Chains A and B, each alone.
Chain A
Amino acid sequence: MVEDELIQRSREGDLDCFNQLVERYQRQVYNLSLRMLGNPQAAEDATQDAFISAFKGISKFRGGSFRTWLFRIAANACRDQLRSLRRRPTTSLDALPLELEWDRHTPSPEEYALARELGEEIRRGLLALPADQRLAVILRDILGLDYEEIAQATASSLGTVKSRLSRGRARLRRHLEPYRELFL
């Protein structure tokens, strides 16, 4: 079934159709949440909350890109989770390591270890960014949205998107500078 039809039926309350949309997008929404929060459990909660909010509010979807609309809801769910994580200092953002999946066919164990180390640094670098810059970088460089889509997903102007990306990427570059020899 094409996406428009699934959306239309979901609007009429057809849960099976909505769940087909969930199946299509859950990987992207989960990855957005995971990179935003750096905490698998919080990412699960944010993803589930995002889909529940999306189902409840699907009548408000006014066409355009469903994925972008969904990301906007997911970004809000992440914001709520971030607030909740800050209130619970025992589960701080750094407390739970996030294992990045790197190419398992890396030839040598040393290279694999280096890739793991770099992955951990990317995770730390992302989490060190202000949330709005982090969101822009994740949407652009990990999930591959274009500038227009990011503007819609973050309810910002194109100029703001460019500025957040520029500042976020520059900070990340500086964060990874000590590991330059690993990836250059």
Chain B
Amino acid sequence: MFRKKSECQQLEGMLSSYIDGQLSPSQRQRIEGHIEGCDACRRELESLRATLNLLHRVPMVLPPRSFAIAEVVPKRRAVAFGALRTATAVAVIVLAFFFAGDAFHLFDAGLIQERYAQEVTPDAGDILDKGVTPAEAQGYEWPVRQIELALIGVVVALGGATAILWQRKRQGEKALRG
């Protein structure tokens, strides 16, 4: 009794491969010999076959939409985006450096001194018009304000370009997902 149960249990795991013709001839003979005398295993084999037939009747559903890929973000644009982002970050850092330097008078001349110079020297504007830089006029070594303004312009331009590319990248990824 115990031996028979063990045989049934062993063969149960092989029925699936038996149905698919994946067993060696000797294993196949063993199963066929067994089910001839074992109603339980024969019924189980029939039931398993019926289950598989049922699965074969499961239809292939039509996809609800096409999964074609609409657009791909070109690699060139991705590289440009990375470079622009880095350039913007560098420009912001340099600008911050100038602001900090300016605020702490590290350039030996700052906005405060320059403003002061303009206030106490009424013809400071004339000096500028004549092409004489404030640095020369006041002894400044750095044209700090001009550099800052230029850097602000650079940051705005680079930041704007980065934002536009980022926007396009997002649109591209959205399109890629359909």
Interface positions of A (Cβ within 8 A of B):
13, 15, 18-19, 22-23, 26-31, 34-35, 40, 44, 47-48, 51-52, 55, 100-102, 118-119, 122, 137, 140-142, 147, 162-163, 165-167, 169-170, 172-173, 176-177, 180, 183-184
Interface hit among B50-58, B98-106, B131-139, B163-171: B50-58
Interface hit among B32-40, B67-75, B109-117, B145-153: B67-75
CB–CB A55/B17 < 8 A: no
5 A-B pairs with the lowest CB-CB distances in the bound complex, closest first: A166-B16, A141-B55, A30-B63, A19-B68, A173-B51
CB–CB A22/B67 < 8 A: yes
User: B48 in the interface, Cβ–Cβ < 8 Å?
Assistant: yes
CB–CB B66/A28 < 8 A: no
CB–CB B16/A169 < 8 A: yes
CB–CB A47/B67 < 8 A: yes
Determine the distance from Cα of A118 to Cα of B57 in the docked complex, in whole angstroms. 11
CB–CB A40/B64 < 8 A: yes
CB–CB B55/A142 < 8 A: yes
Q: Of A23, A34, A170, which one neighbours B61 at CB under 8 angstroms?
A: A34
B39 to chain A, nearest CB (A): 15
User: B25 in the interface, Cβ–Cβ < 8 Å?
Assistant: no
Determine the distance from Cα of A176 to Cα of B54 in the docked complex, in whole angstroms. 10
B170 to chain A, nearest CB (A): 15
B15 to chain A, nearest CB (A): 7
- Give 14 A-B pairs besides A48-B178, A141-B55, A167-B13 with Cβ atoms closer than 8 angstroms: A19-B68, A22-B68, A23-B66, A27-B60, A27-B62, A30-B61, A44-B63, A52-B176, A142-B55, A169-B48, A170-B12, A172-B55, A176-B51, A183-B53
Determine the distance from Cα of A183 to Cα of B12 in the docked complex, in whole angstroms. 21
Interface positions of B (Cβ within 8 A of A):
12-17, 20, 22, 44, 46-48, 50-69, 72, 176-178
A180 to chain B, nearest CB (A): 7
Q: Of A13, A18, A140, A170, which one neighbours B48 at CB under 8 angstroms?
A: A170
Chain A residues within an 8 Å CB radius of B69: 15, 18-19, 22, 51-52, 55
A137 to chain B, nearest CB (A): 7
Q: Of B15, B54, B177, which one neighbours A118 at CB under 8 angstroms?
A: B54
| Chain B residue with Cβ nearest A41 | B64
Chain B residues within an 8 Å CB radius of A165: 16-17, 20
Chain B residues within an 8 Å CB radius of A15: 69, 72
Chain B residues within an 8 Å CB radius of A177: 47
CB–CB A147/B12 < 8 A: no
